[in-house]
Structure 1
Amino acid sequence: MYTFVLVVHVLLAFSMIVLILVQHGKGADAGASFGGGGAGTVFGAAGSGNFLTRLTGILTAIFFVTSITLAVFAKKQTVDAYRLVPENQAPVTAPANTQSGNSTNTSK
């Protein structure tokens, strides 16, 4: 499930990038991106701007949902990883130096 949501998330990101780059600013003619006059476009005189704007909004909403879903999955994986660590585990220390000839006692 995590992999599926991640793939959808990446595809949405690329789709949003393409859609945003295709759109013109508010001052530009919306039909210019489809080859010229506004009346001859696929979406009509003003339909292309509204269509692209709505599609971008929908993709953005789905992108946010997948972002939140991925965050929930990441939190669950982190919590599950901490459950594997025993609570009363002794701390790991370096082994003691047990050489027979070396004495570190300097008191006289």
Structure 2
Amino acid sequence: MIYLLVVVHVIVCLFLIGVVLLQQGKSADLAGAFGGQGSQTAFGPRGAASILTKMTAWAAVLFMVVSIGLTILLSRANNNDHSVLSGAQTTQSAPKK
């Protein structure tokens, strides 16, 4: 089950990278860098969501769900180590005089 989720996670990661890189920037010019977007809305002009925007949102949600699922499965698989410091070596202190 863990291996299947890892494969799904890698596929979703690659898909998310590709979809984000295919999108066009909203304010890619120099005026957009300084806030001159030419609209009175708080976050700039908002058009209809394209298919790339919807695919990005669904891929991001799937990425988060698979990440949480992997975390839960891996914590259950390694249930004998409950501490971060469980494998650390202890040091001896110098004898008191």
TM tier, smaller: 0.5 to 0.7
Q: Counterparts of 1:64-103 in structure 2 under 5 Å?
A: 64-79=64-79, 82=80
SS of the counterpart of 1:25? Answer: coil
SS of the counterpart of 2:14? Answer: helix
1:13 corresponding residue in structure 2: 13
2:42 corresponding residue in structure 1: none
Unaligned runs of 5+ in 1: 29-45, 84-108
Which stretches of structure 1, 4 residues or more, deviate above 2 A after TM superposition? Answer: none
Q: TM-score, normalised by structure 2?
A: 0.59
If each structure's helix is expressed as a fraction of its own residues, which one has the higher value? 1
Unaligned runs of 5+ in 2: 29-46, 82-97
Answer 1 or 2: higher relative contact order, Cα 8 Å, separation at least 6.
2
2:61 corresponding residue in structure 1: 61
The percentage of aligned residue pairs carrying the same residue is: 30
Structure index of larger Rg: 1
- Cα deviation, 1:21-45, whole Å, max 9, x if unaligned, reads 11111136xxxxxxxxxxxxxxxxx
